Amino acid sequence: MKPRLAGLRLTGPLSLYGGGFALAALVIDQASKLAVLHGVDFGDAGIVRILPFLDFVRAWNTGISYGLFSQGADGWWLLGGLKLAAAVLFWFWLARVDRRIEAAALGLLIGGALGNAIDRLAYGAVFDFVSLHAFGFYWYVFNLSDVAIVAGVGLLLYDSFLGGAAKLPS
């Protein structure tokens, strides 16, 4: 018998599969942040050139996407709580899926949300460090949780167009 909470299914046929993606995204994100935070000497410039199009910078995002709503000093706990709530809702969704691509996408969303929530709750801000640029154009500074979230959304969009073709074989 599967565990239930007030009629909500907590696990499903692909919970372990999606959970693996969540765990991988979370571990890779947190390990990369710790490695950069404690292992990279940013020096006086605050920037480390990795490749001609890639720099590591130290950026603390106290707001949400693109630094929006960063002026509130007490809202960091609310933003962290919202990320945790999103991860829980994605888990309930994951318990109901029957397609691997959807499970992988939700796992990436869960891992990404948890990675940024951990930063928010531990530091009061999300640590971003990847700076991509080319031909004078600089993309927003981001972290690997953001990559997992974007990949998860991309997979969900792909799955919505693919439809039932990616259904788990019976």
At 15-54, the pLDDT tens digits run 999 999 999 999 999 999 999 999 999 888 889 999 999 9
Given this model, what pLDDT does residue 127 score? 95
44 in active site:
no
Domain annotation covers residue 66:
yes
Domain annotation covers residue 2:
no
Answer yes or no: are the C-beta atoms of 118 and 111 closer than 8 Å.
no
Kindly report, residue by residue over 1-18, the tens digit of the pLDDT. Answer: 555 555 677 888 999 999
Which residues on adjacent β-strands are paired with residue 8? 5
Domain annotation covers residue 4:
no
Q: Which of 29, 55, 119, 146 is catalytic?
A: 146
Q: Please give the tally of structural domains in the chain.
A: 1
Average pLDDT over residues 140-152: 97
Q: Which of 29, 119, 128, 159 is catalytic?
A: 128
Q: Running DSSP on this structure, what letter comes out for residue 95? A: T
Domain annotation covers residue 87:
yes
Domain annotation covers residue 130:
yes
**Short-list 76, 85, 147, CA closest to 112:** 147
Domain annotation covers residue 3:
no
Domain annotation covers residue 8:
no
74 in active site:
no
Residue 20 belongs to what domain range?
A: 13-40+50-163
Query: Token pair for residue 14?
Result: 């692909």
Domain annotation covers residue 35:
yes
Number of helices (H), then strands (E), belonging to the chain: the values are 4, 6
Answer yes or no: are the C-beta atoms of 2 and 11 closer than 8 Å.
yes
* Of the listed ranges 53-57, 59-63, 91-95, the one predicted with least confidence: 59-63
